[in-house]
Amino acid sequence: MSHLKPVLLSTAFALCATPLMAQQEQFITIGTGGQTGVYYVVGQSICRLVNRDTATTGLRCTAPATGGSIDNINQIKSGGMTMGVAQSDWQFHAYNGSSDYEGDAFEDLRAVFAVHPEPFTVVARADSGVETFTDLSGKRVNVGNPGSGSRGTFEVVLEAMGMSMSDFALSSELRPAEQSAALGDNQVDAISYTVGHPNGSIQEATSTVDARLVDVSGPEIDALVEANPFYSKVTIPGGMYAGNDEDTETFGVKATFVTSAAIPEETVYQVVKAVFDNFDRFKGLHPAFATLTPEEMIADGNSAPLHPGAERYYREQGWIE
């Protein structure tokens, strides 16, 4: 008789538990960027923390590689993605219907938190002679894939500098994961990437060929930063990449984590809780996260309203009123 007991118990458990779990399980997707960037690590890190609690929250998270910021915002809008990472300038433009989003405002876009700084980064082969942004004239330049925030911001800089794509001998649209090899193989003279540091893409570029990070500064950049709250002047510290011991002066944005007002409060709350309840673990997952603080992540870089699920967590923590 006694040997039947565990069988009966486990059958009873299975009968209760299976339908309940199946009903509760909810899949969420986080839009990232290329696999050699930092967004991919942001998405993978958030999912790793969310998936530790699947048994209690029912949330199952995946973070596939995507085309980057603009692709992510557009997929959140269409319902193809639950959440995503996006540059602070494209969060601003999408919410306000400005720049590339003129006449196409995404009013339901919601901010969750800001993450790491992303300097506008140009890397040129040493043998190209490129030392400043305007030296790119007449050169072969990878301007980035359409759908990336990086490409969008490159176009903004080009216009601010009074230049256009036709100034280049070649403007290629390779993805971040392809562009470093193209630089090494001498298919292009320079690559561009608005991205957190250090990252695998620039590491690959500077270790396969003698290449320099290029200063992006001057009165045009000063004016751009002055006129737009989502830009700031930044320095990429020397010593991060092979052959680049000097600091690089440029400007940049922040990576931000965004979603839609259409996503339930409880879902966003659980994702935010997974990150901040395990904040030290999160910060340890990439060097670009090491100096993050909750205060800055809530205050900076967000131009769309906070999602109610994020607000709920921040209020519980006493981080907002």
Cα torsion through 63, 68, 70, 73, rounded to 10: 10
Residue type, 154: F
Structure tokens that stand for 307 in this block: 């999602």
Query: Residue 171 or residue 270: which is nearer to ligand GLU going by CB?
Result: 171
Q: How far is the CB of 174 from ligand GLU (least distance, A)?
A: 13
Query: Residue 58 or residue 196: which is nearer to ligand GLU going by CB?
Result: 196
Q: How far is the CB of 279 from ligand GLU (least distance, A)?
A: 20
Q: Can you tell me the distance from the alpha carbon of 185 to that of 179, in angstroms, rounded to the nearest whole number?
A: 10
Query: Residue 150 or residue 259: which is nearer to ligand GLU going by CB?
Result: 150
Residues in contact with ligand GLU by CB under 6 A are 33-34, 37-39, 68-69, 87, 118, 148-150, 194-196
Query: What sign does the dihedral 295-297-300-306 (CA atoms) show?
Result: negative
Would you call 312 helix, strand, or coil by DSSP?
A: helix
Q: How far is the CB of 149 from ligand GLU (least distance, A)?
A: 3
Query: Residue 194 or residue 302: which is nearer to ligand GLU going by CB?
Result: 194
Element (H, E) at 159: helix 149-160
Q: How far is the CB of 23 from ligand GLU (least distance, A)?
A: 35
| Cis-peptide, bond into residue 237, ω within 30° of zero | no
Q: How far is the CB of 259 from ligand GLU (least distance, A)?
A: 16
Neighbours of 70 (CB within 10 A): 24
Query: Residue 71 or residue 311: which is nearer to ligand GLU going by CB?
Result: 71
